[in-house]
Amino acid sequence: MANEHFGVVVLGAGAAGMMTAIEAGRRGRSVLLLDHARNPGEKIRISGGGRCNFTNVHATHTTARERFLGQNPRFALSALSRYTPENFTAMVRRHGIAYHEKTLGQLFCDNSAVEIITMLVSELRRAGVTMRLGCEIRGVERPAERFEIDTSDGRITADSVVVATGGKSIPKMGATNFGYQLAQKFGLRVTETRPALVPLTFEPGALERLKPLAGVSTPATVSHAKTRFDEALLFTHRGLSGPAILQISSYWREGDAIVVDLLPDQDAMEMLQHARATTPKLAVQTVLGAALPRRLAQMLGESLALPGMIGDFSDKKLQIVADQVSNWRLKPVGSEGYRTAEVTLGGVDTRDLDAKTLEARDVPGLYFIGEVVDVTGWLGGYNFQWAWASGFAAGQVV
């Protein structure tokens, strides 16, 4: 039987792969989109708590150097400047999907993430893309000019192959290291990969103190070296989570401490001095309880072990309390890993890719897009914007 032939074969029907397939199909290319999962866009479905934070109005080339991590922070600029959050949002509006800005420029569906998947699938159909799901990809070769893809549904040849198989996070949803291995097989470098946007864990002693706070959420500033995030902090049974922690996890490395300010909008020392002057008979724990969640204030009060009325505290003693509240140094021992990480930091080395087209510099016709590339965004819609923008860029040229 003759091999099936397509102009473009896209490996991975996630956010990036669907976008490339749509764009290439619109240009009249014959496109096959392959995935081993039974449904396309599984990560879109679970994203944003089921409402998909599909982009961020600030996820543009102007913020990219700060808000996208990778060995070359400039790499993402080209694709991000040619496909903006407004471009994607225009498609969302065209499909009549209701959305809102939640906070910090984050755009979410009003109803369900499934609407984004339905939109992309209908665009795929309109663009004439063939989609094959539940299809195992056994290998990709390039014996001559064409690529040969060995799949559970047979052998396929293609002029171009786009690798959009994503990162390693959430393996139980089908994430694999396929894209990294394929890159290496074709001679591309792959930078060190690690889980990112992930809850941090603590040694048993520290965990014992934190555990009773499981479920408590409070606004905080969390810092690591010069990087800081002002967002919510969530105590869990396993350690710390919440947007502020997920964000800082992309910067944190083993052995480092993080610093937590639990009163981000106040000067803790001033607050305590004011309490000493106005409510001198209160215990420190009670004073903290007016500014912080009660269980958190109680834990801090107990760990400070400073009994007595605040009216009797010297400035030195108040400073100890203020430091505990505003300069709380914590040393995570690890993270929850790929099991819960939202993304993978690192990936296909951008030195080996063309920033404009995402094509491998030394392998004409081979492209890498989305999370498999060493480009990782902040929490809040940045990673989908990279998936759409890199998918769009490759889709214009494959």
Q: Residues in the site for ligand FDA, rule: CB under 6 A?
A: 12-17, 35-37, 42-43, 46-48, 52-53, 137, 164-166, 169-170, 174-176, 178, 342-343, 370-371, 381-384, 387
Name which of 47 and 223 has its Cβ closer to ligand FDA.
47
Return the residue nearest ligand FDA (CB atom): 14
Name which of 268 and 387 has its Cβ closer to ligand FDA.
387
Name which of 60 and 176 has its Cβ closer to ligand FDA.
176
Q: How many CB atoms lie within 10 A of CB 329?
A: 10
CB 160 within 8 A of CB 365: yes
DSSP, collapsed to helix, strand or coil, labels residue 228 as: strand
Name which of 170 and 262 has its Cβ closer to ligand FDA.
170
For residue 144, the minimal CB distance to ligand FDA (Å) is: 24
For residue 298, the minimal CB distance to ligand FDA (Å) is: 32
Name which of 17 and 332 has its Cβ closer to ligand FDA.
17
Name every residue whose Cβ is closer than 8 Å to that of residue 348 and which is 6 or more positions away in sequence.
163, 179, 180, 183, 188, 189, 190, 191, 368, 372, 373, 374
Q: Residue 129: name the closest of 34, 224, 218 by CA.
A: 34
Question: What angle, rounded to 10 degrees, do the helices at 315-326 and 268-278 form?
Answer: 130
**Sequence letter at residue 91:** M
CB 43 within 8 A of CB 166: yes
CB 35 within 8 A of CB 12: yes
For residue 388, the minimal CB distance to ligand FDA (Å) is: 9
Name which of 313 and 392 has its Cβ closer to ligand FDA.
392
Name which of 301 and 381 has its Cβ closer to ligand FDA.
381
For residue 18, the minimal CB distance to ligand FDA (Å) is: 7
CB 342 within 8 A of CB 379: yes
For residue 21, the minimal CB distance to ligand FDA (Å) is: 11
Angle at 35 between CA 34 and CA 36, to 5 degrees: 135
Name which of 324 and 376 has its Cβ closer to ligand FDA.
376
For residue 384, the minimal CB distance to ligand FDA (Å) is: 3
- d(C-alpha 299, C-alpha 283), whole Å: 14
Instruction: State in Å, rounded, how far the first CA of the chain is from the last one.
Output: 27
For residue 267, the minimal CB distance to ligand FDA (Å) is: 34
Q: How many CB atoms lie within 10 A of CB 24?
A: 28
Token pair recorded at residue 301: 């009060």
For residue 377, the minimal CB distance to ligand FDA (Å) is: 7
Name every residue whose Cβ is closer than 8 Å to that of residue 260 and which is 6 or more positions away in sequence.
220, 221, 222, 223, 233, 328, 329, 330
Q: Residue 12: name the closest of 144, 173, 143 by CA.
A: 173
